[in-house]
Amino acid sequence: MSRPSPIGSVMIKAARAAGASLSRDFAEVEHLQVSRKGPADFVSNADHKAEEIIYEQLTKARPGYGFVMEERGIVEGTDKTNKFIVDPLDGTLNFLHGQPHYAVSVALEREGELLTGVIYDVFKNEIFWAETGRGCWLENRKLRVASRTHLADAVVATGTPWIGQSEETHRRFWRELAAITPRAAGIRRYGAASLDLAYVAAGRFDGFWEHGLKSWDIAAGIVLVREAGGVVTGLEGDDLMETGSLLAANESLHPQIETCLRAAREASTSG
């Protein structure tokens, strides 16, 4: 059994503390004061409180590190080589509709490389964590991506476009869905990208693709999938953290799903 490093332990502790706050607010979700900052992009008091908890705990433990946070934005640190990438509440729309599928996501990037990822599935009380060279774990159980080799046996997760995105973004999704649906055993859309990636790492999903995500949605999950033996690549260039468009799966299924998505792109250009 592996144990997290000191910084990994600090990140897990912060994620649990933020999750405890979210859990309390989830029990009273109907009474939350909610503000709206954009189409389908809601921010609750719960979100801000969880982020503040993470920020305070991680700043106390590593006072020089910088941050990239969903609500607070970029916080420059005196240590320019290390930064935390934080989503205090992934699955906000689920949360605000009383759907118990949401997570806290914390990653550590050092000199441009993602080193550590922690994803806390709050309602299920599951901590997924991974560190480069230490593997991927669910609490103290080591995880591996699923071993399925045929897309016809695979369950693949994705995310749907939301209101306010371009018509072409919506059309692209339907083309991709039409390319994969007839070939896969099933498609799932759960509404929390960090958990989609954690579930790929755990073998619960066989693959996941989505476009237009933010760095805090995917940073921790990328570490998890790679340390669980999976493959994560970009769908719009190599800089996953910049484009937010990615495909994650095991080594056998990744090229099969990628071929379907490529076919959908080519159909759009030829049509």
Averages of pLDDT over each 10 residues, the chain, 271 residues: 90 98 86 58 79 98 96 93 97 90 98 97 98 95 97 97 87 94 97 98 98 96 98 88 94 97 78 52
Please tell me the distance from the alpha carbon of residue 13 to that of residue 191, in angstroms, as a whole number: 25
Strand 207-210 to 155-158 pairing:
parallel
Superfamily (CATH H level) for 6-142 = Fructose-1,6-Bisphosphatase, subunit A, domain 1 (3.30.540.10)
Q: What pLDDT sits at residue 40?
A: 44
Strand 155-158 to 186-188 pairing:
parallel
| Residue carrying structure tokens 């379907």 | 260
Of 46, 206, 229, 209, give the one whose Cα is nearest residue 122. 46
For the chain, which residues make up each domain, given as ranges?
Answer: 6-142, 151-270
CB within 8 A of 225, min separation 6: which ones?
Answer: 136, 145, 197, 200, 201, 231, 232, 248
Q: What pLDDT sits at residue 60?
A: 97
10 Å CB burial of residue 96 (0-12, 13-18, 19+) is buried
Query: Does the 151-270 domain belong in CATH 3.40.190.80?
Result: yes
Q: What pLDDT sits at residue 199?
A: 98
